[in-house]
Amino acid sequence: MKIIDGKEISNQIKQEIKIEVDGIISNGNRPPHLAAVIVGEDGASLTYVGSKVRSCKQVGFESTLIKLPSSITEDKLIDQINLLNTNNEIDGFIVQLPLPKHINEENILMSIDPNKDVDGFHPTNFGKMALNMETFIPATPFGIMELLRRYDIETSGKHTVVIGRSHIVGRPISILMNSKGKAGDSTVTVVHSKTLNLESYTKNADIIVSALGIPEFVKSNMVKDGVVIIDVGITRVKDESAIKGYVIKGDVDFESVKSKASFITPVPGGVGPMTIAMLLKNTLLSRKISN
Residues with active-site annotation: 52, 96, 119
Eight-state DSSP code of residue 29: P
SS (H, E, C) 174-186: HHHHHCCCCCCCC
Residue 231 phi, psi dihedral angles, 5° rounding: -100, 110
Give residue 231's identity as a one-letter amino acid code: D
- In angstroms, the CA 9 to CA 11 distance is 5
- In angstroms, the CA 230 to CA 220 distance is 14
Q: Are 136 and 282 in contact (CB under 8 A)?
A: yes
Residue 192 burial (CB count, 10 A): 13
Q: Are 159 and 205 in contact (CB under 8 A)?
A: yes
